[in-house]
Structure 1
Amino acid sequence: MHSPSHRKGAPNLRERRDAENSPRSIPKLNTAYEAVKKPLRVSRMRNVDPPTAATMREAESSTLLTKDGGGRTRSTTVQNIREEFFTSVLASGYVQSYVDLFYLLHSKDDTQNGMYSFSGLSGNERGQRDDAICSTSKFLREKLATAEHCRWKGDIEGAFHAFHELAVRLSEESEVKTAVFFYKECLQIAQSEQDTSKEMDISSKLGIAYHQLHDLENAKMHQERHLHLAQNREKSQRRSNLDQSTNMESKSSREALRQMGKVYDDLATEMEKKKLFEEAIGIYKKWLDCMTQMDDPVAAAEVHFKIGVCYNALGRPTQALEFLKRYQTTCHKYDNVQGESAVCAEFARTYDILGQEELSIDYLKQYLEMAAKCEDIQKQADACQRLGLIYTRTKKFSLAREMYERHFEIVSMALTMKDNVLTSNELGSLNTSRIHVGASRANDEFRTFMNLVKNDLNGLLAWKCTRTLPNQGP
């Protein structure tokens, strides 16, 4: 007869056995490699020699021989490729490389357009994709193992180059988010070694990568760091009177300024979309400073125009005029007709805010004339509509009617030229234009109607019969 303690221990023993035999699930990754917390680097034990590339190749070949020797045909599937690479890396002692490679290859499974997703491909396409997977996986494995091996040996330069090659390859394959992770590894090495040249280069590449990911704040931070390093080094070289080095660093500064300009442009545009015009102006002025340092008057003029537009949006026309006039001067100098057309449209808005309607009308007429020269239908329609609006407000109804009728003709012609079906927005635009024409005609003929009602009964009856007014065409 079993004791109570024995009966109590039996279920516990079964539970332990069930727990040991139950399959252990690997947590599914649904984030990119960069989002995974960086694992702790495995430190080398003093009494163990680091593995070499030769041992990794031996491990890989022994794995393949074991499979083939068992009488099984090895298929070139993605799973087999992964298993072979994982086995060879781990068997060679590259524990950290195994962890990194696992995350890199498995993070692809959750992307819709990942390089390992090939459902629905033909046989040839599938074979080509398998080759690409094999090539890329082998490259990742070798570079990760090289970086780990170099760190064990204390070869910081070798580790830097391995991580850099990984980042460049991943960037070329549009895996920018993962490339950022390895660029950060490079940046950490460059900063620890106080290598300014490398830090400048990696900061620039990180800024570009973040810009591609639309992470504008991080892009701005790294490009500003790149510019700061380049300018400091340039000053140092000038003190040393090393003309050749100074020229090289000057090129680096110009490239940093150019990249900064792109980031500032996108940041300011985002601010404008959010109606944060004060913030947008601040960023545009930083961009203007970059273009001024580059001595690029054309790009600087574009920034002047955008600042002027923001000041108009804030209802500060006097400040807007200052920047718009600078842009207009540059457009005249470089014969930029499109730019002159745009600045005339903005001048019209500025003077309209100031209450100087005649000046606003004059600039709108110039805007219309230049748009016609450039054969820009959209700008012509915009100019006609705005002229119609301001003529209506100033009670010049015959001129308003003329402009609205012209606007309707332009819109109708533009939509007629389209081959596909009109969208709801396009139909709405056409109907709005038609309403403006009707209203402008009514305004223009209002006095005639009132005269018929008050003084000319026969004329009113004739109009009701024929729907024509005296001295008016059909």
Structure 2
Amino acid sequence: IMSNSARLSLSKKLESKVMKIEERSTKPPGSARFHRRKVEAEYNNMPYFQDDSFNVAILCQQLLVAGYVQSYVDFYQLTHRLDPNALEETGMKQINISEDDTKFIRDNLVKAEMSRRQGDTASVYAAFNQLADYYVKNQDWKTSFFFHEKCLEVSQLTNDVRAEMSANHSLGFIYQLMNDFHRACLYHERHEEIAISLDIFEEIAKSNVELYKVYMVLAEKEDSNGNFEEALRLYNKCLDSSRKSWDKASEAEANGKIGHLLLSHGEAQRSLPFLRQQSQISADLGNAEGRCRACSALALALDSMGQSEKALNELMLVVSISDEVGDSYLQAKACRALGTLYSKLGRLTEAVEILQRHFLLTKKLLLKPAAPADPAGPGSPGGRQHRAAAGGGKGGSDAQHAMTSQDLDVARAFIGISKGNMLLGTYAIALQSNLTTLLDWKLNRTEVVNKVNSKPSPATTTTDASVAGEGEASPLTPA
């Protein structure tokens, strides 16, 4: 037990000791003591990524040491997988990525994860978008689609409608590259829906530019499969998209597609306004080929309605336009259609003359080397493929306008049939009144003399040939 004297001495010792506390300077109230560092600055100061040596395994370890688990998972899967572009015939092999590309992938994955932790969604979107664009450049559509989906998720979580429109546009773009036009249509329609709700006319036009391409591919497939109603519905969607995107060349093409579809199914009367609209817009744009197509189809429609003189006027306009622009291909098509109609109307001398010109033009085109075709396919995002916008080259012979030896044989047959039609009356008279002369011609190949001056009746020279510029016309058939 401590005595009173001992307690007193201990108390004095404690009182003699002075506790000194160092005062720390503080900033005035209201001023932040801590500042959030920017993603780029924090990333550049990390000691883990300053090593310039290139080894995928080491890069993966660095990501784990730095604490970027999600980046490690994505980076490992992207660098340790089979090459998606490797051909099956050569065997699947592991993907080979260059050093710069590998570090580019790692850097953007880390920036995305770091930005997400700090709540910087704009930087997250930008990093994923850069990765998606990188894989588009390398034609790895599925991986690009993966990152564009992440962009869409980020935009939806933050209610960023502009970013959501951009993501939907990009996803539709990727599906077009993958030739999956049905799914591409869904994303582009969603893009348009958001743009309409916000009255952003530039985005409405942007979405409809791609929708036009997608609808056109789908409509042509339905048309080739014989689904008239569905093809007509999709062609009308093309027309609507062309107007929303303010693209007159596309509007002319869509009108032409609708007109030709209706005409091919016997609805000539319904096709007239669409074909006339195509002709008018093509004339305004200076598109000679588009106007020639429209006028040729108009001639066929009018002829089927019994308005042969109006049909003839349309075809004469086609010949005039093709001569004016100096396009040999258009001239050949126009001469063939006009010669066919002349034969049908019984104007046989004119028919022979114009079909002879068709033969010479076909022969000229056959000798021309064909230019290489445009590698961009239909509906692809990069190519508008409006041959009409170029107006067709003068005298050129591109891959779509090249003639074959079969075309030359058909042209030769047209001349022979038209000449036969012109001499049909002579042969009929010889058969009826001068059988001896006919037998002499048959046995000795002597010239048949037309002893009776009479012109053949138009009723004896009916033909089944088409006057349309689209497609192949059937040979003239003497009655």
Shorter-chain TM-score tier: 0.5 to 0.7
Please give the secondary structure, in 2, of the residue aligned with 1:358: helix
Decide whether the 8 Å contact of 1:463 with 1:469 is kept in 2: no
**1:448 — aligned with what?**
426
* Rg (Cα) greater in structure: 2
- 2: distance between equivalents of 1:61 and 1:416? 64
User: Where does 1:94-173 land on structure 2 (aligned, <5 Å)?
Assistant: 94-107=68-81, 109-112=83-86, 133-152=98-117, 155-173=120-138
Q: TM-score, normalised by structure 2?
A: 0.67
- Asked whether 1:304 is paired with 2:294, we answer no
**1:356 — aligned with what?**
307
- Output one character per residue of 1:94-120: Cα deviation in whole Å (capped at 9) or x when no partner: 44333323433355624249xxx9x9x
1:389 equivalent among 340, 343, 347: 340
Quote the offset at 1:136 in angstroms: 0.8
Decide whether the 8 Å contact of 1:301 with 1:326 is kept in 2: yes
Letter in 2 for 1:287: C
Query: Which one has more relative contact order, counting CA pairs under 8 Å at least 6 apart?
Result: 2
Quote the offset at 1:397 in angstroms: 4.0
Q: 1:450 to 1:84 in 2, by over 3 A?
A: same
Q: 1:390 to 1:292 in 2, by over 3 A?
A: same
**1:366 — aligned with what?**
317
**Structure that is richer in helix per residue:** 1
Quote the offset at 1:141 in angstroms: 1.3
**1:317 — aligned with what?**
268
Decide whether the 8 Å contact of 2:85 with 2:140 is kept in 1: no
Structure 2 gaps of 5+ residues are: 1-41, 372-398, 451-479
- Asked whether 1:271 is paired with 2:222, we answer yes
- Asked whether 1:342 is paired with 2:309, we answer no
- 1: distance between equivalents of 2:151 and 2:370? 53
Please give the secondary structure, in 1, of the residue aligned with 2:83: helix
- 2: distance between equivalents of 1:293 and 1:54? 47
- 2: distance between equivalents of 1:217 and 1:266? 10
Q: 1:218 to 1:159 in 2, by over 3 A?
A: same
Q: TM-score, normalised by structure 1?
A: 0.67
Quote the offset at 1:139 in angstroms: 0.8
Please give the secondary structure, in 2, of the residue aligned with 1:171: helix
Q: 1:82 to 1:397 in 2, by over 3 A?
A: farther
Letter in 1 for 2:166: D
**1:426 — aligned with what?**
404
Aligned pair count reads 376
Letter in 1 for 2:177: Q
Q: 1:199 to 1:102 in 2, by over 3 A?
A: same
Identity %: 27
Letter in 1 for 2:106: R
**2:143 — aligned with what?**
178
Q: 1:169 to 1:383 in 2, by over 3 A?
A: same
- Output one character per residue of 1:350-383: Cα deviation in whole Å (capped at 9) or x when no partner: 1233243333233222212211222222222222
- 2: distance between equivalents of 1:415 and 1:295? 38
Root-mean-square deviation (Å): 3.8
- 2: distance between equivalents of 1:59 and 1:336? 59
Quote the offset at 1:57 in angstroms: 5.5
Q: 1:434 to 1:82 in 2, by over 3 A?
A: farther
**2:353 — aligned with what?**
402
Higher deviation after alignment, 395-404 or 321-330? 395-404
Letter in 2 for 1:383: A
Quote the offset at 1:295 in angstroms: 5.2
Decide whether the 8 Å contact of 1:304 with 1:323 is kept in 2: yes
